[in-house]
Structure 1
Amino acid sequence: MPLMKTHPIDDEFATSVFSVKPGLSSEEALVNASELLASASAIANEQAFAASGTQRLQTFGLAQIIESAGLLVNAALDKIDPASTQPV
């Protein structure tokens, strides 16, 4: 059986299946991160309400960490384009 040759770029991403689009702007990255965190928060909260005991507390703790990360991402977005977050 022939061995597959690897390309230099394959070695860079050996531990990751996904990569970030080259040229992705900071704003695009932060918007996507914000959306991912919102989804993770919804999942964690739903799981927490379905759980009990220490698992419930741990899942709520995870949800709080996710929410905190989302607040940081949104604060960074505000600094990139503060005009877009002002009430109309």
Structure 2
Amino acid sequence: MTRRQPPDNNSRCLFTVRSDISTEEALVNASELLASAQAAAHEHAFSLDGQQGDHAFAIAQLVENARLLVNTALERVSPSQD
């Protein structure tokens, strides 16, 4: 895997990730973003009927799958202290 170089001042990039962010912090933030996306997808899905609702539920499921992968990686990087 190659590391991306930080954008230069002429870049059209709106958002960047801090170069000093830890893996744990990045995974926690990714998990929180995915949780928000999942909640929005579920809320939207319940307001739709038929095929559109099915598509929204499918998106919610894909987001949940991604969140489970991120949470598994987070647990490996920083095991919880139960």
Which TM-score band applies after superposition, normalised by the shorter structure? 0.7 to 0.9
Which has the larger Rg?
1
Q: Which runs of 4+ in 1 moved over 2 A?
A: none
The amino acid that maps onto 1:52 is D
Pick from 24, 36, 39 the counterpart of residue 21 of structure 2: 24
What's the CA shift string for 1:7-56, capped at 9, x where partnerless?
x8134x32x20000121011000000000000000000000001001100
Number of positions where the alignment pairs a residue of Structure 1 with one of Structure 2: 76
Pick from 73, 76, 81 the counterpart of residue 73 of structure 2: 76
Residue 56 (structure 2) aligns with: 59
**How large is the Cα RMSD of the aligned pairs?**
1.4
- Which has the bigger relative contact order, CA under 8 A and spacing at least 6? 2
User: What are the ranges of 5 or more consecutive residues in structure 1 without an aligned counterpart?
Assistant: 1-7
